[in-house]
Amino acid sequence: MQPGNITASYLARYRRLTDGADAPGGALPVTGAQRRFLLSRQLDPAGRPTLVPLFFRFPAGTIDPVRLRAAAGHLAAVHPALRMRQLVRRGVPLQVPGTPAGHVERVRPRPGERARDALLRTLGDWPADGPPLRFFLAAGDAASRPDDGADDDGSSDGEVLALVLDHAACDEQSLGLITAGLTDAYRDGLGPHDIPADTAADGLAAYRDAVHLQLTAEEKASRPDTLAYWAQRLSGIRSTSTPTTTPAPGAPSGSGTGTALRRLPLGADGGRATAFPVLLDACARAARTLHGPDSVPVLGYPWGGRPPAAAPVLGCFLNTVAHPADEGDLAGRAAAWWDDLDHADTPFDEVVHAARRAGVPWSGRLDGLLTFEDLGRRPALRLGDATGREIHIDGRPVQAPFAVSVSYGSDLLVRMAWDRSAVTDHHAEAAFASLTEALGTRTARPAPAPVSTPAPTP
């Protein structure tokens, strides 16, 4: 093992801390992704975490907040990740289990404020203390933008439920466990005290084992040969801190988040036209549209799954993989992507350090983000006799100049958000047109993606 790699150094510091008499009870280390999310929260002026929100519309009066709060507490008792508190002690990130609790809050719009804006404001004011899973309920209005009329009819009927997670507690595989578990607990009227003590202890042991197995995999993936691979892979990047675009005459720009959305039909083969290399190639085209044809921007996409020997626990077991958006054809990009997956366990911060040690002029800032979710892996959320209809509320800040989110279900829902202080609407819309045109006309040639699929970020 390479002396001084980030994971090994972190674990050595963690062991020194937890061997002491003042170590927090039940402390666990954090995974590489959790470490990044915790650092991001510390760097945020308001101490806000990275959030993963899902929004559902239910018929008015069908949700019982008391029953929902008990069901949320039950989930936290079953899944240790939902009752963990992220801490930093003497500069060492760690997590400690807390008491399982459910959080359900009714959000009331201010005068002149729509429900969607009230929910976005509430998410922006998320307090650092409290459970990592929270629910916010707002009386419905035209709370979400219509997805070409397919997701929301814009009526004032119903209620909007926001299911929101701290990203340090979840990844894509976790979302299906949460919607399925919440449906069952709500149906059966279960609460946090309906978990036998031995079952809770077994769940905590399984989570602890999964975290340690993840860190073992990350440490193994930080060998000198793997770091050399990433240094070479990123040696040609020519990224910019902001897109190299200038507003066209009359082109709108400003503060806030711009958004675009389009639904695309699936090809006759169902999944092949949506193989991940096709999405990655289309996103790379959009990045070069924004950053200039001579640039080689860096895209980031979450990828991961539980370590092979780990139980299928809920938690954050993913990594952000860096992808140079260079010029090239789909076949070449797919081949490079398969090679990247062989090294995808290397923690992102380790990749950044390896590239910089090799002289690559990269700060680690990503020029674009791509997330993908297979909706077939997430059961519908059913509360009592009503099934929630997922809607999309756009307008949250993005963590890169632009971010693309793709949901694969009965069709392909493609959404793009951009930071309007960095990207003009004119250029963003051109990039989105390039993206959707590529997705709409191409057929994937590589083999289907592996079982481990990208996990969502906001």
Residue 251 predicted with pLDDT over 60? no
Q: What are the tokens at 206?
A: 């399984």
Q: What is the pLDDT of residue 255?
A: 66
Q: What is the pLDDT of residue 240?
A: 55
Q: What is the pLDDT of residue 270?
A: 58
Residue 109 predicted with pLDDT over 60? yes
Q: What is the pLDDT of residue 454?
A: 42
State mean pLDDT over 170-175.
93
Domains of the chain: 6-217 (3.30.559.10), 222-441 (3.30.559.30)
State mean pLDDT over 335-352.
95
User: Model confidence over 200-211: pLDDT tens digits?
Assistant: 999 999 999 999
pLDDT band at residue 266 using 50, 70 and 90 as cut-offs: confident
pTM metric for this prediction: 0.89
Q: What is the pLDDT of residue 238?
A: 82
Q: What is the pLDDT of residue 281?
A: 93
State mean pLDDT over 291-314.
92
Q: What is the pLDDT of residue 41?
A: 86
pLDDT band at residue 85 using 50, 70 and 90 as cut-offs: very high
